[in-house]
Structure 1
Amino acid sequence: MSPVDLKTTGFGTRAIHAGQEPDPVTQAVIPPISLSTTFKQSAAGVHSGYDYSRSGNPTRNGFETAVAALEGGKYGLGFASGSSVTATIISTLGAGSHLISVNDVYGGTYRYFTKVASKNGVEATFVNLSVAKNIEKHFKPNTKLVWIETPTNPTLCIIDIRAIAEIAHAHGAYLVVDNTFMSPYFQNPLSLGADVVVHSVTKYINGHSDVVMGVAVTSDETLYEKIQFMQNSMGAVPSAFDCYLARRGLMTLEIRMQRHEQNAKTIAAYLEKNEHIEAVIYPGLASHPQHELAKRQQKGFGGMVSFRTKGTLDNVNKMLGHLQYITLAESLGGVESLIEVPAVMTHGSVSPEDRAVLGITDTLVRLSVGIENVEDLINDLKQALDKAYL
């Protein structure tokens, strides 16, 4: 069997075959999980590419290779969680550094920047980047990194990756893009000028709510070596079994994302017409203020929908309590539909004042649309919303 040509194959083919060659000994189509923590050396300091599993593991390497191929990058690095990706990248900056982050950022990232990085001498400035030029006045001589998500979590604001990359590079900073919400299927930030793209693998890439992992991808060899050194030194690496599960999930990413988006579009359109909904936020709707930007830099609109209900948190809780198929839980990107209230769940670590500025109110609801039958999901939302306002 000839090696897969990663430069010419389609997304689905790469998702299945990249980093996934049949076992050279048994010819098993699915390579066995490499659980060994250490590897035999032919002489002192001479090995076949693996010496200790924290530094590198065959199963992890297969997963890293596959994600890098899907993101159009040269190097992939797997981590024990999405948060450990963040911590490891920030650790490369050093004390006395400054970073700029989009203000509407995942609560765990906000917490790390404000409660941990700040104590280690790294200052963070949070900026509304719905308009790219807003970032200009916030650069300092020691600004080394710009961190964005797009769409943002949870208000689904779209950030112009190419414009931010150009400005960051002009100031000598590099750009990191959290691409978790879009997955490599719908968006490839490296092709738009980003230097590093990161994912919480826990979400769409794994796709089955049974693995906690993270990954970083870059084509910059210098950045790769810095992050890899910190990865090995800090040791926040995933287990071989988790890498196996995530690689398995990756095989169906294309068809899963297609169904996530199809369902999300239908549900967003339904919610716009529901009498109990004040506003629907979905980049695939013409009503989204950055719909045209989303069409330019994305290949689709994804499976995340946020909406504002009428009434109060009491109405929201009544709705949540009557849902049958949609599960009240944190996280996103699984095959099952999950719903949450960011103000009191995923973004509880963000101060009330900052939540108010961002529009993360008690009646803002975030829905991760799964791949169930969409008619069942709409019926579930309808009956729960009707009961919430009796």
Structure 2
Amino acid sequence: MTHSSDIKPESWLVSAGRGSQPGDPLNVPLVPASNFLIGSGREYSRDDGTPTWEALEALVGGLEGGKALAFASGMAAIAAVFDQLAVGALVVLPDDCYQGVAGLAIAGAERGRWTLQRIGVDDTAAWVAACATADLIWLESPSNPLLTVADLAVICAAPRKASAIVAVDNTFATPLNQQPLKFGATVALQSATKFIGGHSDLLAGVATTNDLGFWHAIKKSRELTGATPGTLEAYLAVRGARTLAVRLQRAQQSAMLLAERLEAHPHVMRVRYPGLASHPTHATAQRVLKGFGTIISFDLVGGAEVADAVCQHVQLIQHATSLGAVESTMERRAAIPGQEHLPPSLLRLSVGIEDGEDLWTDLAAAIEVATSKI
């Protein structure tokens, strides 16, 4: 089959992972097998994988520009990266990142597994300095949920310890908007639960690297911890990924429309979206991202009570967690345990593929109702 570097990503998404021989099924089949007849090199799925997992790995690996491994969830892939650290390692984490990663890092530090340092996502000089001593540089860009964009081109290229790992959670950007391995990262991670699957119907994660030794190391972690993807989940992730390019294009267009209108709304204090000129890291986003994504965070006048009321009154937008799916979802992040430090009225909106004008009508009406008594 044509290599990913020979065709555009939009074509790779549709073609990757399929069979190429006469009589092969056109679509990736479900292979619900734990073990295989001995003699081909594939004996037990936990160790050797399945054709369904491999199709997902080929698809995402080609997009990211490396060799991929599929996991049971995004957190399982993340844990496999942390599993490579020796006791006493120095982990450098952004001040704004996914609470699951922060929870894992803090728990390990509390047990004496490693030392933890936090740095502002946009403090590029501090990240470059940290690369000289850190064992794990953990980056997330755009960040969750404040949507700060890190200067990956500079940070990933900075001199670092020979054994240091530079890991980038690339879930928000997707491999269509950003390829961290090309900047020099060791590994790029996707929560395939989000944009890759795109339909809120699976849990899966993918880690991609162009360091073969590191690939074998995280594969061994997957084997020993049993953090393998389900066959149905891998199948659904491949099927969902086929439409990633058109989903992302549609949702990004609507996200820009909503961000601009929210910024002009009298009951909105602040809008965080990398595509807006007012965004603190907009210039960086223009340099390192091919698109600004589909996630918007905004703070409402009136505090937590008003923000909760907006979530209760939207009808087309779903009041639910997670992101990156065909349906738009929204939630007040400070209401989530571990996220209490966030602005109390901050709403994180994941824009789906609905009509942008319909989304605005729904959101504006909910804000009007929620703020009518202020």
| TM-based fold match above 0.5 | yes
Q: Secondary structure at the match of 1:264?
A: helix
C-alpha distance in 2 between matches for 1:64 and 1:310: 44
Alignment-mate amino acid for residue 311 of structure 1: G
- Between 3-12 and 329-338, report the one with greater CA deviation: 3-12
1:337 to 328, 331, 334: 328
1:156 to 147, 163, 166: 147
1:58 to 27, 45, 51: 51
2:316 to 316, 325, 328: 325
In the superposition, relative to structure 1, how do residues 292 and 171 fare at CA in structure 2: closer, same or farther (>3 Å)?
A: farther
- The question of 1:4 aligning with 2:5 is answered no
Q: Give the deviation of 1:25 after TM superposition.
A: 7.2
C-alpha distance in 1 between matches for 2:334 and 2:9: 36
Q: Secondary structure at the match of 1:7?
A: helix
- The question of 1:368 aligning with 2:350 is answered yes
Q: How does 1:1-390 map to 2 (within 5 A)?
A: 3-22=1-20, 24=21, 26-42=23-39, 48-55=40-47, 56-73=49-66, 75-116=67-108, 118-119=110-111, 121-136=113-128, 138=130, 143-167=134-158, 169=160, 173-345=164-336, 348-350=337-339, 352=340, 355=341, 360-390=342-372
C-alpha distance in 2 between matches for 1:318 and 1:382: 12
Q: Secondary structure at the match of 1:125?
A: strand
Q: Give the deviation of 1:118 after TM superposition.
A: 4.1
Alignment-mate amino acid for residue 363 of structure 1: S
C-alpha distance in 2 between matches for 1:296 and 1:334: 26
Residue ranges of structure 2 left out of the alignment (5+ in a row): none
Q: Secondary structure at the match of 2:36?
A: coil
Contact between 1:97 and 1:121, CA under 8 Å: does it hold in 2?
yes
In the superposition, relative to structure 1, how do residues 224 and 215 fare at CA in structure 2: closer, same or farther (>3 Å)?
A: same
Contact between 2:132 and 2:160, CA under 8 Å: does it hold in 1?
no
Q: Which runs of 4+ in 1 moved over 3 A?
A: 136-141
Taking only aligned residues, the RMSD between alpha carbons, in angstroms, comes to: 1.6
Q: Give the deviation of 1:266 after TM superposition.
A: 0.5
Contact between 1:313 and 1:362, CA under 8 Å: does it hold in 2?
yes
Alignment-mate amino acid for residue 65 of structure 2: G
Q: Secondary structure at the match of 2:45?
A: coil
Contact between 2:132 and 2:159, CA under 8 Å: does it hold in 1?
no
C-alpha distance in 1 between matches for 2:98 and 2:3: 36
- Between 169-178 and 204-213, report the one with greater CA deviation: 169-178
Q: Secondary structure at the match of 2:280?
A: coil
C-alpha distance in 2 between matches for 1:77 and 1:302: 24
Alignment-mate amino acid for residue 135 of structure 1: W
Alignment-mate amino acid for residue 386 of structure 1: E
Contact between 2:270 and 2:298, CA under 8 Å: does it hold in 1?
yes
Alignment-mate amino acid for residue 13 of structure 2: A
Alignment-mate amino acid for residue 12 of structure 1: E
C-alpha distance in 2 between matches for 1:168 and 1:361: 35
- Between 127-136 and 330-339, report the one with greater CA deviation: 127-136
In the superposition, relative to structure 1, how do residues 274 and 363 fare at CA in structure 2: closer, same or farther (>3 Å)?
A: same
Alignment-mate amino acid for residue 66 of structure 1: L
- Between 208-217 and 168-177, report the one with greater CA deviation: 168-177
Identity of aligned residues (%): 35
Contact between 1:176 and 1:198, CA under 8 Å: does it hold in 2?
yes
C-alpha distance in 1 between matches for 2:252 and 2:334: 25
Alignment-mate amino acid for residue 257 of structure 1: L
Alignment-mate amino acid for residue 53 of structure 2: R
Q: TM-score, normalised by structure 1?
A: 0.91
Q: Secondary structure at the match of 1:54?
A: helix
C-alpha distance in 2 between matches for 1:139 and 1:242: 36
C-alpha distance in 2 between matches for 1:255 and 1:295: 21
1:45 maps to which residue? none
Residue ranges of structure 1 left out of the alignment (5+ in a row): 43-47
Q: TM-score, normalised by structure 2?
A: 0.95
C-alpha distance in 2 between matches for 1:53 and 1:211: 19
